[in-house]
Structure 1
Amino acid sequence: MPRDGRGDDFVDRFAECLGSGPSASYMVRVQNPIVLDERSEPQPDIALVKRANYADRHPTPADVLLIVEVSDTTLDYDRDVKLALYARHGIPEVWLCDVKAGELAVFREPIEGQYRLMHKPTTSETVAPLWVPVVRVAVADVLA
């Protein structure tokens, strides 16, 4: 169901204050839509997007820097459907967190509807998005 961009903008502002801060070059969106095409408007768990005013529109693939999907009961759908959808629309990077297995998979380099590179970092590693390298996430902090 389509959502009001204004309400989403308020959610983004809260996430921004809690995450990146107002001076960062990116924004953190939490469970808010991104528009991939006329028929597809998924709501990823987290999206790092270029800083812009999204009160009147939702981000498009050109705005997205990173998608994070946290999968508990939706792992098959997120891995088999959403991941291909993101790759087909050129989303540069997706992190897929398998809650039940306690694993993180990092997907990069979308080509022809799939990601060319996949890496499963260990809990002793730190990961950073390619397009926002100042953001560093200790895998242990997320999966603990």
Structure 2
Amino acid sequence: MVTLPIRHRFTVEEYHKMGEAQILRERTELLDGEILEMSPIGLLHAACVSYLVRLFVLRLPSMADVRSQNPIILDDLSEPQPDLAIVKYRDDFYKGGHPIPQDILLLIEVSDTTLKFDREVKIPLYAVSKIPEVWIVNLPDRNIEVYRDPVAQSYTTVQQYQGGESLSISTLEGIVVSIKELFGF
């Protein structure tokens, strides 16, 4: 008889208690109950995230809040830290609790070494949580992958933008950015 080890899945509440007790010292994310150590942030990745934060803060001064590498709560078992989260504006800046799926207008993951992980792990989690729109900034190929219309563990609309193309944020009327502008750092 083969005995398989029992895997314990942590809740967001348990994850927070471990953080408060300083059990978790590295940069981590809670995804589907598993605590994952995050990759170190490289120079190109950091520059891209900083640039995108500046770009969107200037474009969305009062429409939304731009959060960078801060937690969002998808459900009781998942608290990822997307590179950018554009969320509904709140006067309290979410000090009473991290944004939840209903607050999220757009998530952006900047991918260089994490492209496969972002596509195969994070995108399905975001789809299950009905995040309306997710962008992957694909640094190696210099394009933007846009995921819209979540159904189950995937998105029914997946498009790739590059070069001289422009794209809009489906949840924010009138906001259009060019791919050239997104890679302007």
TM-score between both structures, scaled by the size of structure 1: 0.83
Question: Does 2:89 align with 1:46?
Answer: no
Q: Distance in 2 between matches of 1:19 and 1:121?
A: 20
**Distance in 1 between the 2:148 and 2:66 partners?**
19
Partner residue, 1:136: 176
1:39 is paired with a residue whose SS is coil
Work out the number of aligned pairs and report it: 133
Question: What is the root-mean-square deviation of aligned Cα atoms in Å?
Answer: 2.2
Shift of residue 118, structure 1, vs aligned partner:
0.7
Identity level (%): 38
Local SS of the residue matching 1:116? strand
| Secondary structure at the counterpart of residue 66 of structure 1 | strand
Aligned ranges 1:1-144 → 2 under 5 Å: 2=16, 18-21=58-61, 24-52=62-90, 53=92, 54-144=94-184
Matched letter for residue 103 of structure 2: D
The separation in 2 between residues aligned to 1:135 and 1:70, in whole angstroms, is 20
Aligned-pair CA distance for 1:17: 5.5
Rg (Cα) greater in structure: 2
Which residue identity is paired with 1:38?
D
In the superposition, the TM-score normalised over structure 2's length comes to 0.66
The residue type paired with residue 28 of structure 1 is V
Superposed displacement of residue 20, structure 1: 2.1
Q: In structure 2, how many angstroms separate the alpha carbons of the residues matched to 1:118 and 1:25?
A: 25
Instruction: Report if the CA contact (8 A) 1:92-1:109 is conserved.
Output: yes
In the TM superposition, structure 1's runs of 4+ consecutive aligned residues that sit over 6 Å from their partners are none
Q: Which runs of 5+ in 1 are unaligned?
A: 5-13
Aligned residue for 2:73, secondary structure, equals: coil
Q: Shift in Å at residue 60 of structure 1? A: 0.1
Return the offset for 1:122. Answer: 2.5
Distance in structure 2 (CA, Å) of the matches to 1:33 and 1:40: 10
Aligned-pair CA distance for 1:56: 1.7
Q: Is 73-82 or 117-126 further displaced after alignment?
A: 117-126
Residue 161 of structure 2 aligns to a residue in which SS?
Answer: coil
